[in-house]
Structures are given as C-alpha cells and as structure tokens.
Amino acid sequence: MSLVKIDTRFTKGFFSESELQTELQAASKARETLRTKSGKGNDFLGWLDLPSKTDAELLNKIKNTTERLTKISEFLVVVGIGGSYLGAKAVIEAGISPFQGFKENEKNSAKILYAGHHIDSDYHSELLSFLNTKEFSIIVISKSGTTTEPALAFRSLLTLLEKKYGKDKTKDRVVSVTDANKGALKKLSTEYGFETYVIADDVGGRFSVFTPVGLLPIACAGLDIVSLIAGAKEMETNVSEESDPKKNLSCYYASVRNLLYKKGKKTEILVNYNPRLIFVTEWWKQLFGESEGKEKKGIFPAGVNFTTDLHSLGQYIQDGERNLFETILKVTRPKTESIIQEFSGDPDGLNYLAGKSVSHVNSKAIEATCLAHYEGGVPQIEIEIPELNMKTLGAILFMFEYACGISGYMLDVNPFDQPGVEDYKNNMFALLGKKGYEKKKEEVEAKLNSL
C-alpha cells in the first residue's frame, strides 16, 4: 500500500478527461527523459536514486558525528541558506512537537538553531549573545562554500567558538558539509581540520535533503533518518518504476498541476492544516519556485497554513482573482487524539461537539473548506498522508522532488539550474564594493540614482 494518495475529486469540471490523458502522456514522456537522464540539466540528477543508494557507511558516520556533537552541545547551530537548510528545517519542524523544543535529557539530540539564512543584524547579534553562555556546536552547510549569508554568520559563530573554547577545541565543535574540492568553506575546513561531509557535484541544493545536508541536522535533532530514507525509498520505487502515469504519484501530480496552469491557474497554493508542516511548505516553495520559474514561465508556488489563514487569506482564495489552485497536504490520522469535553451549562454552545475529537473537527474543516473553495472556482489536488511520521515525510519529499523534475521538463525549462539567483548577488557585491565589481558598482549606483 502506498504511503501517500492523491485525490483529484475537487478538480472535476476544470478540465476534460481527454485533456488529462494528453497531459498524462506528456508527463510519461518527461518522466522517461528524467529516468534516462537525457534532458536539460542532466548532470544534476544524482538525487534520483539517493534513497536507494544511501549506504550503511554514511549512516554510521552520521550516527558517530551525532553522538559526538550532541554529547558536548546543548545547542547546534545549522548554518546555511536555501537548499542548504530548508530540507532539514522542514523535517525537524514536522518531526518534533513545538512544545518539546528538544528532547530534554534524551541522549543523542540537541536543540537546533538556524543561522545564515538571512542578514538581519538583530537576529545575528541576539543569537551570538544567547549562545555566549550556552554549550554549542555548528553544522555549516554550503555547497559552493562561498554564499554570503552563511559565510557571514559562520565567521561570527566561529569567532565566538574560538573565544569560548580556544582554537584547539573549536575544531571538534564544527562539522562542515560542502564540495569535495573547491570553495572557501572547503579551504577553511581543511585548515582547521573540521570533520567534513561532501555534497556530490551532481546534487543541487534544493534536491539535497537526503544527503548529509539534510540527514546530519535531522539526526542531531534526535529524529530517525533510517525511517525517513525508508519512506523516500518506497516512493522512489513507485515514481521510478510505475509506468502508468495515473498510478505514478509524481507523474499524476505533475500532470494535474500543469493542466491547471494551462487553464490559467498560475498560482499554486500548498495548503496545510497542521502547524508542523509550515516548513514543508517553505521547502516546497523553494523546490518548485527555483526549479520552474524560468524563461518567463512557471507556476508561482505560494503557501497557506489553515485554519489560521482562513481568517486572513481565506477571503482572497474564496473570492479574489480566479487564477489559483490549491494542493492540500491532508494528514488523516493525528498522533494523539484529543476528545472535546462536555461543559456544564454549555455557556459557549460547544456541547454539540462533546465526545468528538479535535481531529474530527479539523477533518470537517478540511471538507468544508475544500467544497467552499471548489464552488468559489478554485480546483484542488488533495495529497493524503495517513499519519505524519518520518516515513511518510520521506515519501512526500521524494514524491515532490521527482514531480518537480517531471514538471520542469513538461514546461520545457531546465529544472536544475538557478541562473536568476545571481542577479541580486551581483548587484549586492557591487554595492558592497567587492573586489572585481568596481565597474558594476558605478553602473548599479547610477541606475539606483536614476529611479
């Protein structure tokens, strides 16, 4: 039985069966291009079989690093941006109760903090002052090893480590994840003798959650990476072996979303009804946004957290411009049931729900919202997840990665590059006066002054 199901009943009437068949055929073709590594960006397909090729040697190394780091650290700072932190954060937030914080007194886990994912001065100084009195270590992740945001944060954190523990002991409190040979982080790691994990050349950041980029921080948070990989592996079997595009979850999802896009639904909103999934949405936004938004094409990936956002963006979704569709992450079974109690006198009028569970109310909210949005002109794809656990998380992340490859090829873009990310960086380097950007600085300043 599949770990995840896709239900498209709320797309009825938005396209015909023959249109769907055409799109399914296109998805099949795109999947073949992906599988045979014959399409654009085919030198970045090392992620395609990551779940099935994760070996005991890597898992053992991660286990040893986790034991070593968590023994000496109450806090672990994951330094990285984009694909170098979002996968880990998505799984950690989904896997750990928001009130648990971290597994106190539990062996082999630390509280995970994040840095290097923006350049806000207050966050930066507040983090440093917080860590000043704490036992902490760092996992610094950068494939290129030269990205400004993490490099800046790492410089300050490394300085603090050296101040607290001395240069010798600092070495044992940093683990880097970076390129095998090049980049400033690689150079620094060699100089200091940090323990290092390699990001393979053929795996891009947003497809790296099943490499040490994701696995090491997730393991250090005390979560079960073996189950995560098992779920991803089960999904890998479905999406790489199932040739019927309607039964192949990634093909089916890619077909329906592309068909809706062709029907003018230019924005896809990933919907969750569970606050633990907020960062799965952030990860998904990066995956699809950075992979598909090219050549003036691509679905805009947005996200909402329901029922919270039904009291804000819900109005727009129900009644605003009809260029939207939703993809709903529907967790059908909670980890724990909470039963609504009878209340004497019924002052709040809620006794009609007494004896029912909170998850029953959430499930009715989902049905009610789906119907309302459908009748308001918003088609929806439901992704049913029986229970939120490491296995199902691994499965949905891999299903989305594979769907993203298929979908990018259906759109005829290279889903594995990100040339547009360079534009802001070049302007920023020029404005900051980086060496080699002298001429660009004049141009950028002149353009800014002319506005």
Q: Give the catalytic positions in this structure.
A: 290, 311, 425
Q: Indicate the residue type of 4.
A: V
How far apart CA 178 and CA 183 sit, in angstroms, is 8
To the nearest whole angstrom, how small is the minimum distance from the Cβ of residue 208 to ligand PA5? Answer: 7
Q: Provide, rounded to whole angstroms, the least separation between the CB of residue 231 and ligand PA5.
A: 22
Nearer to ligand PA5, 290 or 326 (CB): 290
| Minimum distance, C-beta of residue 145 to ligand PA5, in the bound complex (Å) | 7
**Spatial distance between the Cα atoms of 417 and 402, rounded to a whole number of angstroms:** 15
Q: How far is the CB of 178 from ligand PA5 (least distance, A)?
A: 8
Least gap, CB of 217 to ligand PA5 (angstroms): 14
Nearer to ligand PA5, 291 or 369 (CB): 291
Q: Which amino acid is at 130?
A: F
- Name the residue number minimizing CB distance to ligand PA5: 205
The span from the CA of 295 to the CA of 297, in Å, is 5
Strands 136-142 and 174-178: parallel
Inter-axis angle of helices 249-262 and 17-35, to 10 degrees?
Answer: 120
Q: Which is nearer to ligand PA5, 144 or 323 (CB)?
A: 144
- Judged by beta carbon, residue 145 or residue 222, the one nearer ligand PA5 is 145
The answer to whether 352 and 359 are in contact (CB under 8 A) is no
What distance in Å separates the CA atoms of residue 157 and residue 163, rounded to the nearest whole number? 10
306 within 8 A of 369, measured Cβ to Cβ: yes
Which one, 8 or 418, has the nearer CB to ligand PA5?
418
Q: How far apart are CA 191 and CA 199, in angstroms?
A: 19
Q: Which is nearer to ligand PA5, 84 or 258 (CB)?
A: 84
- Which residue, chain included where needed, has tokens 């079974």? 333
Closest CB to ligand PA5 among residues 206, 257: 206
Nearest approach in angstroms of CB 108 to ligand PA5 is 26
Nearer to ligand PA5, 51 or 183 (CB): 183
125 phi and psi angles, rounded to 5 deg: -75, -35
Question: How far is 193 from 178, CA to CA, in rounded Å?
Answer: 14
Contacts of 257 (CB under 8 A, 6+ apart): 268, 299, 325, 327, 381, 403, 407
Picking from 84, 4, 55, the residue whose alpha carbon sits closest to that of residue 226 is 55
Sheet holding 111-115: strands in order across? 111-115, 75-79, 136-142, 174-178, 195-198
Q: How far is the CB of 425 from ligand PA5 (least distance, A)?
A: 9
Kindly give the pairing relationship between strand 136-142 and strand 75-79: parallel
How far apart CA 79 and CA 150 sit, in angstroms, is 6
Q: Is 5 exposed, middle or buried (0-12, 13-18, 19+ CB in 10 A)?
A: middle
Contact positions vs ligand PA5 (CB under 6 A):
81-84, 142-144, 147, 150, 204-206, 290, 418
Contact 259, 420 (CB under 8 A): no
Instruction: Supply the minimum distance, in Å, between the C-beta of residue 284 and ligand PA5.
Output: 13
Q: Is residue 80 within 8 Å of residue 117, measured between CB atoms? A: yes
How far, in whole angstroms, is CA 180 from its chain's centroid? 24
